[in-house]
């Protein structure tokens, strides 16, 4: 059968996955999303036009590819159509002919989004800190899913009366938990009925769709992970994480793909580290280095516009992501951001009480206390944005890449030195 190629974030997100996916999507037959929702933001630049995708798989630009939203994704229908409209204005055509949606995907309702905001306010008031969610209703929807009170696309498309009564029950539950929450039940149901007819032609049994894709004629199937390893609900820096599995296991559960069909797993790594919101960040630089990375890297979020915290590349995190995901190769992005530095540091180990630890600490408070052991390398002080092949990179930049490969034990397949498609150097 066919294998799926998987692209995953290896840090805290914002590694430039969109670019890698876009590169691979040009020759893919099917591009899939398996988890998360419109809390993700992938920017793809094609022919000088910048597209922002949140729910759509980035492959939607490719007129020859089918885009598939799997059962592990949570779907906010108004968000889906709003995103379609914005990208249509930029020249996206016929997307509804190329999009397939799993009937088992859960629906994000407007009240889930409202609750997301209210919960953040509550956390701020009670604990003096919030999680820093995107307020897109993702967490509350996965909560409904786990509590078995959620509603799925298949429910919306079958008996609407049954759907309506379950919708009203769920709305009522939330209103009793959050007395200030106002829900226009009838208004929302009316809108949902309209969306039902718009998406009906795109909805399929996702398990059967994937089965046919895997066992039919030879096809290139690409899976685009949203979020990243350290935001994973199980393996991330809990509780400052997202609510889905953004590591390789999410591919099997979020699409209905058996593990033997997983082929290459590409980890996307930024040449330094960034993090949105609060939580431990051992290699963070709250100084002029951090400021420089922030401004040179344009580090603010696609979905939220929030500034990202910046620091040196952390190989402990990378090795940890590799333990979980089993990367077959890496894409090292944003190398050009380091072009101006005199010296560059790489975090190679964590110490607790002066002793090196071989694992990545689960507990937040312990992670706050680790001491990072750095390796210092000379900077290359050369503009790399024009590099198109390995030989074009300065030797010191080549050393940096080799250092990452040696420590993690995974080859670097791509090096990114700019925004455009052309600025992804393929090494093998």
Residues annotated catalytic, as ranges: 145
* DSSP one-letter string for 10-77: -SSS-SSHHHHHHHHHTT-SEEEE-SB-TT--EEEEETTEEEEESSS-GGGG-TTSEEEE-TTBEE-H
* CA 80 remoteness from chain centre: 17
Pick from 212, 232, 213, 247: which is nearest to 7 by CA?
247
Residues 6+ apart with CB under 8 A from 42: 17, 18, 21, 52, 53, 54, 58, 224, 226, 302
Residues 113 and 130: their CA atoms lie apart, in Å, by: 16
Q: Is 30 exposed, middle or buried (0-12, 13-18, 19+ CB in 10 A)?
A: buried
Residue 354: exposure state from Cβ atoms within 10 A (0-12, 13-18, ≥19): exposed
Q: What is the dihedral of CA 274, 276, 280, 285, to 10 degrees?
A: 40
Measure the CA angle with vertex 290, ends 284 and 291; round to 5°: 150
Q: Which tokens hold the place of 358?
A: 């071989």
Q: Which two tokens stand for residue 258?
A: 């058996």
What's the rounded Cα separation, in Å, for the pair 53 and 247? 20
Structural contact between residues 28 and 221, judged by C-beta atoms closer than 8 angstroms: yes
DSSP secondary structure letters along 195-222 = HHHHHGGGEE-HHHHHHHHHHSS---EE
Q: What does DSSP say about strands 49-53 and 355-357: parallel, antiparallel, or unpaired?
A: unpaired
Q: Is the peptide bond before 239 cis (omega within 30 degrees of 0)?
A: yes
| Phi, psi angles (nearest 5°) of residue 357 | -115, 140
Q: How far is CA 230 from the centre of its chain?
A: 11
């Amino acid at each position: 059968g066919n294998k799926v190629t998987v692209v995953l974030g290896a840090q805290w997100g914002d590694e430039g996955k969109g670019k890698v996916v876009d590169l691979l999507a040009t020759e893919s037959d099917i591009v899939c999303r398996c988890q998360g929702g419109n809390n993700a933001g992938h920017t793809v630049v094609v022919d000088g036009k910048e597209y922002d995708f949140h729910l759509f798989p980035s492959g939607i630009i490719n007129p020859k590819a089918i885009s598939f939203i799997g059962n592990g994704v949570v779907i906010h229908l108004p968000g889906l159509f709003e995103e379609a409209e914005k990208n249509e204005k930029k020249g996206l055509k016929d997307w509804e002919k190329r999009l397939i949606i799993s009937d088992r995907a859960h629906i994000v309702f407007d009240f889930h989004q409202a609750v997301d905001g209210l919960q953040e306010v509550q956390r701020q008031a009670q604990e003096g800190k919030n999680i820093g969610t995107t307020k897109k209703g993702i967490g509350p929807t996965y909560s409904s899913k786990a509590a078995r009170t959620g509603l799925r696309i298949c429910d919306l498309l079958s008996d609407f009366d049954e759907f309506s009564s379950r919708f009203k029950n769920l709305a009522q539950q939330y209103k009793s938990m959050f007395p200030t929450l106002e829900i226009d039940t009838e208004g929302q149901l009316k809108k949902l009925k309209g969306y039902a007819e718009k998406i009906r032609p795109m909805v399929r049994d996702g398990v059967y769709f994937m089965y046919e894709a895997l066992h039919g004629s030879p096809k290139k199937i690409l899976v685009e992970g949203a979020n990243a390893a350290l935001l994973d609900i199980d393996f991330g820096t809990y509780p400052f994480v997202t609510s889905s599995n953004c590591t390789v296991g999410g591919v099997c559960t979020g699409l209905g793909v058996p593990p033997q069909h997983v082929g290459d797993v590409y980890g996307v790594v930024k040449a330094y580290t960034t993090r949105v919101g609060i939580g431990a960040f051992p290699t963070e630089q709250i100084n002029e280095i951090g400021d420089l990375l922030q401004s040179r890297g344009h580090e603010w979020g696609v979905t939220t516009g929030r500034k990202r915290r910046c620091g040196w590349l952390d190989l402990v995190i990378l090795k940890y992501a590799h333990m979980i995901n089993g990367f077959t190769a890496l894409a090292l992005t944003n190398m050009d951001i380091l072009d101006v530095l005199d010296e560059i540091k790489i975090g190679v180990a964590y110490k607790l009480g002066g002793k090196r630890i071989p694992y990545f600490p689960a507990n937040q408070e312990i992670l706050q206390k680790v001491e990072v052991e750095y390796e210092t390398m000379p900077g290359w002080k050369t503009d790399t944005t024009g590099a198109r092949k390995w030989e074009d990179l300065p030797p010191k930049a080549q050393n940096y890449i080799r250092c990452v490969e040696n420590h993690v034990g995974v080859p670097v397949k791509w090096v990114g030195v700019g925004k455009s498609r052309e600025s992804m150097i393929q090494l093998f």
